[in-house]
């Protein structure tokens, strides 16, 4: 009989938590017991898993007794407060927040890129999930970096509102309805109206003019690809799309990578779906990528401004591959090799 594992999800009623629940079921993860945790205001709600209604419990330091794997999706403040308690209870924490990503003794893992890093969970009992946009970008960067060694990345992201949570999804819906019916448009989740607009501002601005989201892409990409000499600059933009983040990526490499070679490398890369035929108007778009786990790549072309430059466009569902699916793939490595 296959072994099962006791799993806890923190932030279970949020957008990422509910997606984690769905993906555990889809991927037939060996769950022998499931504990759903959230703040006091969600206590007593029920969520369905494998046909059973499971009651949401209040998250406390004592929530993790008997838990093997704790999936954290409740934000950095909650992770800093409760993840150490989960680790002390001998649960392995897979944390979706930014709380521990850049700590040197905590592995930052994308299973298609650096699965070997999972082994370092034994340092503190915690594994970090990278930023959603970073994940979508590094999955196709990995085979290109292995072949030609990337020296510099210039990225511009077009990020869906669902990356800001369930309230942001509702806000876009409400603003569209208000616009259609000629009513005043209110902005709460974002500093400005997001419907029919772009906002070049995700997370807090720093002293150097970058936002925290942009710096995450810089530092996390270097850590995941294990190359501290890699230079990454990003501009992150919120767009009026419900699901799936898009990134326009330009790279400079030590070894030239032709467009045809890039297509060949990416067509064989795990987690990548090549969708690149501009003549037939085939290129990735959020409309068709939402709800899928692969990172879709298209618009591959050699950079006419740099002899060793290459540009491409990648789209990935940030609630799935950018968050929940990536976390559960890490859990699958844990149960296969370590637990």
Residues tagged active-site: 132, 245
Q: Following DSSP, what letter does each residue of 14-40 receive, concatenated?
A: SHHHHHHHHHHHHTT--EEEEEEEE-G
Question: Which residue in the block uniquely carries the two structure tokens 């680790």?
Answer: 87
Give the list of residues 6+ apart from residue 319 with CB closer than 8 angstroms, or none.
15, 16, 19, 132, 162, 163, 243
Question: Which residue in the block uniquely carries the two structure tokens 């994308």?
Answer: 110
- Measured at the CA of 291, the angle between CA 289 and CA 296, to 5 degrees, comes to 30
Q: Is 76 left (phi over 0), alpha (psi -120 to 50) or beta?
A: alpha
Nearest to 189 by CA among 164, 160, 211, 214: 164
Neighbour-count burial of 194, counting CB atoms closer than 10 A to its CB (0-12 exposed, 13-18 middle, 19+ buried): buried
Name the strand (E) or helix (H) holding 130: none
């Amino acid at each position: 009989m296959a072994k099962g594992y006791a799993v806890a999800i923190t932030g279970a009623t949020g957008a990422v938590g509910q997606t984690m629940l769905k993906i555990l079921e889809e991927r037939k993860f060996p769950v022998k017991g499931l504990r759903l945790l959230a703040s006091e205001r969600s206590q007593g709600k029920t969520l369905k898993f494998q046909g059973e209604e499971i009651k949401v419990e209040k998250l406390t330091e004592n929530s993790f007794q008997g838990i093997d794997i704790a999936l954290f999706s409740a934000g950095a403040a909650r992770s800093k407060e409760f993840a150490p308690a989960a680790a002390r209870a001998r649960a392995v924490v897979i944390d979706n927040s930014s709380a521990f990503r850049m700590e040197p003794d905590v592995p930052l893992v994308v299973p298609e890129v650096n699965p070997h890093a999972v082994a370092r969970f034994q340092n503190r009992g915690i594994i970090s999930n990278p930023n959603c946009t970073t994940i979508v970008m590094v999955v196709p960067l990995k085979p290109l970096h292995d072949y030609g060694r990337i020296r510099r990345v210039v990225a511009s992201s077009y990020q869906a509102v669902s990356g800001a949570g369930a309230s942001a999804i509702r806000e876009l819906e409400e603003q569209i309805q208000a616009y259609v019916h000629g009513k005043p448009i209110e902005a709460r989740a974002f500093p400005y109206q997001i419907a029919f607009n772009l906002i070049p501002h995700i997370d807090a601005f720093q002293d150097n003019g970058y936002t925290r989201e942009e710096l995450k892409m810089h530092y996390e990409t270097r850590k995941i690809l294990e190359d501290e000499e890699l230079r990454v600059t990003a501009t992150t933009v919120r767009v009026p799309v419900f699901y799936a983040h898009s990134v326009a990526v330009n790279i400079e490499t030590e070894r030239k990578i032709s467009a045809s070679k890039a297509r060949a490398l990416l067509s064989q890369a795990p987690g990548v779906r090549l969708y690149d035929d501009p003549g037939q108007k085939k290129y990735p778009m959020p409309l068709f990528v939402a709800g899928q786990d692969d990172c879709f790549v298209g618009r591959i072309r050699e950079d006419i401004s740099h002899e060793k430059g290459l540009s491409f466009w990648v789209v990935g569902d940030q609630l799935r591959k950018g968050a929940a699916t990536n976390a559960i793939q890490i859990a699958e490595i844990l149960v296969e090799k370590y637990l």
